[in-house]
Amino acid sequence: MHDNSIPDTVFAFVHSYRLAMRSGLNASELGLNYMHVKCLTFIDSNKSCTANDIVNFFARDKAQIARLVKDMIANAWVIKTDNPQDRRSQLLSLTDEGKRLALLIAETQGKVHQQMQKNLTDEELQEFKRVTDIIVTNLTDLNR
Amino acid sequence: MHDNSIPDTVFAFVHSYRLAMRSGLNASELGLNYMHVKCLTFIDSNKSCTANDIVNFFARDKAQIARLVKDMIANAWVIKTDNPQDRRSQLLSLTDEGKRLALLIAETQGKVHQQMQKNLTDEELQEFKRVTDIIVTNLTDLNR
DNA sequence: AAGTATTAGTTGACAATATCAACCAATAAA
DNA sequence: TTTATTGGTTGATATTGTCAACTAATACTT
């Protein structure tokens, strides 16, 4: 086994996880894309969140995030309010509908994660997370 | 720490790995996309390979692969030859230029993987691969 | 305080990746 | 031999990602 197979396997992880979430959510019926799911979850779990926080957390281009946010606002899942700390940015928060979706997402995630963890112990999962973090740090160093 | 963070971290892995490969390869100068890189590597490492093999290995839509193959043929990295076993399909193989690229890709991968593995032992990597495979299997079961 | 640099966000233009359905030809199954 | 399935192509379109230019607000420098 050569280490080259690690990235391929990880790609397969991402791909199948996406599919599982999408079908579990009935995402297309709801008009939800996967990036919406990620953003909604992030906003939901952060008391105070700006577009830039999303950009940094997911390491995505700010243009991409700006459009996703615009989209989510157009869907009335998210609202912007002035940020008293910094008038360049706005705080993002979920509408009631956004919260409803976030709940649905969390439920689906719960199911997918349960399936994902089959045949794995907590120790294995914790170790997996630890190693992934190290790899991400290593690669992030490289991209700079 | 909730397990929900695992997918986010894995997404970060994929994203930073892609970036590292792309910049390491000078990919845009070569006209190489990341999916090209994956396909070329796969063709290179398989004695006899059809478009359908790629579809199955990466679990991608066959339309997407058909276009990538068309693209790689247009770039003269790949050629098709009749498959004596099955006249519906053709065998894909690398041209000299394709082999040159595959070599360059392998070198870059070597560097990226070396960086990726910093501060990790072989056992940790092997374990990581093992757990990822289990997760992929779990999720694949779900998508069926 | 004034000028310069940086930062948050928006927009345009586009490239790369992914999806779905319809279709053809070849093969496999009945 | 009909019928069903498979490998592959194409059209149409959606989603995701990238790069550069730009505005307004903030931070930094002197």
For chain B, give the percent of residues with pLDDT over 70.
97
Of B46-50, B62-66, B140-144, highest mean pLDDT:
B62-66
Q: What is the structure's pLDDT at A1?
A: 40
Burial of B26 (0-12, 13-18, 19+ CB in 10 A): exposed
Whether A143 has a pLDDT exceeding 80, the answer reads no
* Order of all β-strands in the sheet with A78-82: A49-50, A90-94, A78-82
Whether B43 has a pLDDT exceeding 70, the answer reads yes
d(CA A128, CA A113): 14
Q: Tell me, yes or no, if the pTM score tops 0.95.
A: no
Query: A30: distance to nearest CA of chain B, Å?
Result: 19
Q: Is the dihedral of CA A65, A50, A13, A103 positive or negative?
A: negative
User: What is the length of chain A?
Assistant: 144
User: Which top CATH class is B5-109?
Assistant: mainly alpha
Q: What is the structure's pLDDT at A144?
A: 67
Where residue B144 falls among pLDDT bands split at 50, 70, 90?
A: low
Size of interface A-B (CB pairs under 8 A): 156
Which has more confidence, B77 or B47? B77
Which bases of chain D are contacted by protein, using any atom under 7 A from a CB?
6-12, 14-21, 24-27
DSSP E strands in chain A: the ranges are 49-50, 78-82, 90-94
| Average pLDDT of span B16-45 | 91
- Could you report how far apart the first and last alpha carbons of chain B are, in Å? 30
Please report, rounded to whole angstroms, the spatial distance between the CA atom of protein residue B35 and the C1' atom of nucleotide D7: 20
A97-136 pLDDT, tens digit per residue, is 999 999 999 999 999 999 999 999 999 999 999 999 999 9
Q: What is the structure's pLDDT at A25?
A: 87
Q: Would an 8 Å CB–CB cutoff place B56 in contact with chain A?
A: no
Whether B1 has a pLDDT exceeding 50, the answer reads no
d(CA B28, CA B130): 33
Q: Which residues of A62-98 are buried (b: 16+ CB within 10 A; e: fewer)?
A: eeebeebbebbeebebbeeeeeeeeeeeebbbbeeeb
The domain locations on chain A are 5-118
Please report, rounded to whole angstroms, the spatial distance between the CA atom of protein residue A89 and the C1' atom of nucleotide C2: 25
Q: Cite residues whose beta carbon is less than 7 Å from strand D.
A: A 28, 33-36, 60-64, 86-88; B 15, 18-19, 28, 50-53, 55, 62-63, 66-67, 69-70, 80, 83, 86, 88-90
CA closest to C1' of C16 belongs to B33
Q: Which residues of B touch A131 (CB under 8 A)?
A: 120, 124-125, 127-128
Q: What is the structure's pLDDT at A85?
A: 93
Q: Would an 8 Å CB–CB cutoff place A117 in contact with chain B?
A: yes
A24-80 pLDDT, tens digit per residue, is 888 777 899 999 999 999 999 998 999 999 999 999 999 999 999 999 999 999 999
Q: Which residues have a Cβ under 8 Å from the Cβ of B9 and sit 6 or more positions away?
A: A129, A132, A133, A136
Q: Would an 8 Å CB–CB cutoff place A123 in contact with chain B?
A: no
Q: What is the structure's pLDDT at A39?
A: 97
Where residue A4 falls among pLDDT bands split at 50, 70, 90?
A: low
A80-94 pLDDT, tens digit per residue, is 999 999 999 999 999
- Could you report how far apart the first and last alpha carbons of chain A are, in Å? 30
Whether B100 has a pLDDT exceeding 70, the answer reads yes
| Average pLDDT of span A17-26 | 90
Query: B94: distance to nearest CA of chain A, Å?
Result: 19
Q: Given 1.10.10.10, 1.20.1250.20, 1.10.3720.10, 3.30.530.20, which CATH number is that of A5-118?
A: 1.10.10.10
Q: What is the mean pLDDT of chain B?
A: 93
